[in-house]
Amino acid sequence: MEEKFAQQFAAAGFSKQTAIQAAVAEPLAAGQSVLGIAPTGSGKTLAFTWPLLPRLVAGAGIQLLVLEPSQELALQTTAVIRDWARLLDLRVQSLTGGANLKRQVERLKKNRPEVVVGTPGRILHLLDEHALKLGKLKTMVVDEADDLLVDDTLAVVEDIERTTPLDSQLAFFSATWGKVFDQLADLFGRPVTTVDVRQQDDSRGPVKHGLVQARTMSQKAAMLERLSHTKNFRALVFFSSIKTLHYTASRLKHAGVSSATLGGKQRQTEREAVMRGFRKHQIKLLLTTDVAARGLDIPKLPAVVNFELPTTSNLYVHRVGRTGRQGEPGLVINLGDEHDFRDLKRLLAKTDYQLEPLEIADYRLTDPATAAKLRAEQPSPAPAAAPEAAADHPVMAAAKRVLTPAKKKRRKKQRKNKGIRLKHRRKNEAAQKKQ
């Protein structure tokens, strides 16, 4: 590792590199094209940042291009790379859709960055307009490659790659295996070394995967309302349908729930404001889609809620990868009925995920038997201690913390008309006596 990087590495409190970071460091530094596959939250951004930045020359034009599937992920990656690039006097700029195009072009001319991070559509548009030139590019990184190298986006990535030098290096990173990975050498005309560390990686924390009964959209929305009223609870809530997302967002807003949406036709400034509010715990429920939330890193995110269950195992992997990152415990709540859960278990049959029925009783996430016991005991308003079996599990302990009921504010009785009511009562009493 670069000496300046090693110093910041130690200062940041890191003790050792993750499996993917250690595995790809040497081939990337040597200029080899690499496909790196590692679980979500295993530090893939730093895995290509550390070995690639020292290869760049300050002031020599754009030499590193990183493609991301969404605006949020592009901005997040830009921030991570910039922290390390400034140690080598290198400049980093993001180029994403949703941002002001003219302002981006002006900034490109003024800043003259060595590193560009962007979404494929905006990058190709700037190339077509001759506002961006990649003639001096050394490396092109395709992050979340299983998402970018499909359908129309694959054609866009290929068009971008054709504008780069023939001897440039390629790096692909993903959390899951995609069928297209078998064809990388043919598609891009160069050998690609595969590094898969999914079995060796130990960066994930313990994550509990629960099944919570909620059949209709109304029942699921009511469950979100219930969760939102618990202390310290925050979650990414995933939807497959934009229509369902907007219905739920409208209902939560009407109920006064602290929530927001991410995705759709929002401007970049709006998206940044939403993400900032969620990271600062000002928003409890962030309603989103698979595309908008792909690859997002939200430190110590307590939970993920699947409002609509995913249709592929890869989608499930990417969704649940938002929680339980960097050794932290996590919680996944899957909403549905018995039919939905049978389909989900069949979908995840070849994975290691253990799906368990759960109920939320007394603001505690627990198994159905314990929930029935709590209901039978009719506990006092202050929740009793959680069962030892649940408390022993680190994730259940975390769930107990986030599912602690918030203290309700006592409302004062309305007394502003008391004097008028008393006056009328005395007047009526006097009239009755005269009769």
Which pLDDT value is given to residue 374? Answer: 53
For residues 140-155, give the mean pLDDT.
92
Residue 155: partners with Cβ closer than 8 Å, 6 or more residues away: none
Determine the residue type at 382.
Answer: A
- Out of 170, 196, 222, a domain closes at 196
Domain identity same for 228 and 169 = no
Which pLDDT value is given to residue 414? Answer: 55
Residue burial 89-110, b: 16+ Cβ < 10 Å; e: rest: ebbbbbbbbbbeeeebeebbee
CA distances (Å), origin 252, targets 175, 236, 277, 396: 32, 14, 17, 26
* 48 vs 364, more confident: 48
Q: In whole numbers, what is the pLDDT of the chain averaged over residues? A: 84
For residues 324-343, give the mean pLDDT.
88
For residues 244-269, give the mean pLDDT.
86
Domain identity same for 73 and 134 = yes
Which pLDDT value is given to residue 369? Answer: 60
For residues 340-344, give the mean pLDDT.
93
Using the predicted structure, report yes or no on whether residue 338 has a pLDDT greater than 70. Answer: yes
**pTM across the whole model:** 0.75
N- to C-terminal Cα separation, the chain? 101
- The closest of 38, 69, 65, 41 to 52, measured between CA atoms, is 65
- The CATH number of the domain holding residue 148 is 3.40.50.300
* DSSP label of 164: S
Please report whether residue 164 resides in a domain.
Answer: yes
- Out of 131, 161, 196, a domain closes at 196
CA 395, CA 35: separation in Å to the nearest integer?
Answer: 33
CA 83, CA 77: separation in Å to the nearest integer?
Answer: 10
* 431 vs 35, more confident: 35
Domain that holds residue 159: 3-196
Using the predicted structure, report yes or no on whether residue 285 has a pLDDT greater than 50. Answer: yes
CA 198, CA 192: separation in Å to the nearest integer?
Answer: 18
Domain identity same for 129 and 254 = no
Please report whether residue 135 resides in a domain.
Answer: yes
Please report whether residue 287 resides in a domain.
Answer: yes
* 402 vs 234, more confident: 234
Listed range (103-112, 224-233, 242-251) with the worst mean pLDDT: 224-233
